[in-house]
DNA sequence: GGAGTTGTTCCGCC
DNA sequence: AGGCGGAACAACTC
């Protein structure tokens, strides 16, 4: 499940390897992945320069010199992997040849291939075909339905403690559902929602409207810390996620609760519980995160 | 081999 | 109006 830290890690890996390069060819292996008229590829993509790479929420943006932008959403199992010709590898530490994950590409999950003017290839892989690629005029990225509805970035000025309090206090749904709501804050998914609430010592099933100002502030700070930490450690890998170089992220081994059912809480040694909140698999510590009154574990 | 997995959209209901 | 909860989507793992 690529969330904000995973997509940010991909963007950072991609940037020095593709910015300034021209797209020479595009191979469409799965039509439904390409959610735009692929007849436009020749005119709008081929021979165009990738002027910059950017992330907004969980969407990766590649701005082109044609004043169009490629938008990528990885949904649950998407990958964007860049394979540079050996002679031209960016000195940012590509995996050594013997263990280079890109030697097996393309594979059965590859849905599209972009080849650049120096021979670099960008593979879009997606086992479950939920991910998509769109092509829109750069000036219209902001009016894309998803982008238009998404909330502030966690590290932007717009995301203040006051803003977060205003948003949460009128919501009666579980706080976990509020964190997963992309219109409140951009980029949190199942991993970092659980991690945030454990750090903030708030039970995921607490109704948002019952949180005190102090608890809301703790969650606000935890969001920033957990997402920053996720980026620092290159994201979380347990099934599909790899970065732009095809290698895994390191966050899982430092996870507080995520995928740690039955293991001990690193704060209090209680056993981590897995349950279901907001329709999602949810991990928490029953001691650090006190259950709300009347809440039954399912 | 049926259930579980999840990011986003859609839909019915309040 | 808009929040809420659940279904739908897809394909693999267990």
**Residue A145 approaches strand B within 7 Å at CB:** yes
**Residue A149 approaches strand B within 7 Å at CB:** yes
The nucleotide lying nearest A280 (C-alpha to C1') is B6
Helix, strand, or coil (residue A289): coil
What is the pLDDT at residue A148? 92
Q: What is the pLDDT of residues A200-259, one digit of tens each?
A: 999 999 999 999 999 999 999 999 999 999 999 988 888 888 899 988 888 999 999 999
Task: Report the distance from CA of residue A29 to the C1' of nucleotide C14 in Å, as an integer.
Answer: 29
Q: What is the pLDDT of residues A249-280, one digit of tens each?
A: 889 999 999 999 999 999 999 999 999 999 89
**CA A1 – CA A153 distance, rounded (Å):** 18
For residue A196, give both structure tokens.
């945030």
What is the pLDDT at residue A64? 96
What is the pLDDT at residue A178? 95
Query: What does residue A79 show for φ and ψ, rounded to 5 degrees?
Result: -140, 145
Q: Is the pLDDT of residue A90 over 80?
A: no
Highest mean pLDDT among A101-105, A123-127, A292-296: A123-127
Active-site amino acid positions of A: 2-3, 58, 280
The nucleotide lying nearest A186 (C-alpha to C1') is B7
Q: What is the pLDDT of residues A50-68, one digit of tens each?
A: 999 999 999 999 999 999 9
Q: Evaluate whether A218 touches A201 at the Cβ level (below 8 Å).
A: yes
**Residue A275 approaches strand B within 7 Å at CB:** no
Q: Is the pLDDT of residue A95 over 90?
A: no
Q: Is the pLDDT of residue A175 over 80?
A: yes
Residue of A128, A148, A124, A152 lying closest to A227 (CA atoms)? A152
Average pLDDT over residues A31-51: 91
Closest protein residue to C13 using CA and C1' atoms? A239
**Residue A26 approaches strand B within 7 Å at CB:** no
What is the pLDDT at residue A42? 82
What is the pLDDT at residue A91? 67
Length of chain A: 298
What is the pLDDT at residue A40? 84
Q: Percentage of residues in chain A with pLDDT exceeding 90? A: 75
Bases of chain B below 7 A from a protein C-beta are: 4-9
Q: Where are the alpha helices (DSSP H) in A19-120?
A: none
**Residue A266 approaches strand C within 7 Å at CB:** no
Pick the more confident residue, A27 or A239: A27
Residues ≥6 apart with Cβ < 8 Å to A282: A176, A190, A194, A204, A205, A274, A275, A276
Q: Percentage of residues in chain A with pLDDT exceeding 70? A: 96
The nucleotide lying nearest A183 (C-alpha to C1') is B8
What is the pLDDT at residue A62? 97
Task: Report the distance from CA of residue A182 to the C1' of nucleotide B5 in Å, as an integer.
Answer: 20
What is the pLDDT at residue A210? 94
**Residue A172 approaches strand C within 7 Å at CB:** yes
What is the pLDDT at residue A92? 63
Neighbours of A43 (CB within 10 A): 11
Q: What is the rounded average pLDDT for all residues in chain A?
A: 91
A43 band by pLDDT with thresholds 50, 70 and 90: confident
Q: Is the pLDDT of residue A158 over 70?
A: yes
What is the pLDDT at residue A99? 60
Average pLDDT over residues A131-157: 93
**Which CA distances in Å does A76 have to A125, A194, A204?**
11, 17, 22
Bases of chain C below 7 A from a protein C-beta are: 3-7, 9-12
The nucleotide lying nearest A73 (C-alpha to C1') is B7
**Residue A280 approaches strand B within 7 Å at CB:** yes
For residue A268, give both structure tokens.
């209090």
What is the pLDDT at residue A93? 58
């Amino acid at each position: 499940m690529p969330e904000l830290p995973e997509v940010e890690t991909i963007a950072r890996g991609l940037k020095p390897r593709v910015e300034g390069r021209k797209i020479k060819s595009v191979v469409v292996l799965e039509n439904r992945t390409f959610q735009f008229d692929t007849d436009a590829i020749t005119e709008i993509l081929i021979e165009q320069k990738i002027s910059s790479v950017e992330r907004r929420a969980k969407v990766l943006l590649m701005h082109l010199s044609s004043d169009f932008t490629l938008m990528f959403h990885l949904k649950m199992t998407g990958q964007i992997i860049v394979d540079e010709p050996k002679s031209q590898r960016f000195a940012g530490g590509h995996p050594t040849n013997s263990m280079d994950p890109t030697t097996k590409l393309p594979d059965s999950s590859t849905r599209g291939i972009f080849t650049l003017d120096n021979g670099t290839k960008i593979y879009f892989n997606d086992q479950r075909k939920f991910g998509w690629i769109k092509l829109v005029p750069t000036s219209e990225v902001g009016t894309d339905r998803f982008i238009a509805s998404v909330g502030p970035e966690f590290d932007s000025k717009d995301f203040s403690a006051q803003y977060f309090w205003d948003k949460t206090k009128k919501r009666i749904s579980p706080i976990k559902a509020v964190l997963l709501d992309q219109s409140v804050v951009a980029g949190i998914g199942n991993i970092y929602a659980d991690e945030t609430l454990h750090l903030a010592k708030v039970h995921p099933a607490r109704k948002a409207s019952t949180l005190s100002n102090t608890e809301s502030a703790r969650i606000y700070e935890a969001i920033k810390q957990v997402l920053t930490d996720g980026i620092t450690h290159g994201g979380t890998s347990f099934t599909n996620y790899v970065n732009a170089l095809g290698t895994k992220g390191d966050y899982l081994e430092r996870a507080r609760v995520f995928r740690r059912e039955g293991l001990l809480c690193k704060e209090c040694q209680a056993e981590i519980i897995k349950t279901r909140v907001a329709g999602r698999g949810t991990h928490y510590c029953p001691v650090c995160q006190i259950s709300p009154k009347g809440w039954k574990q399912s």
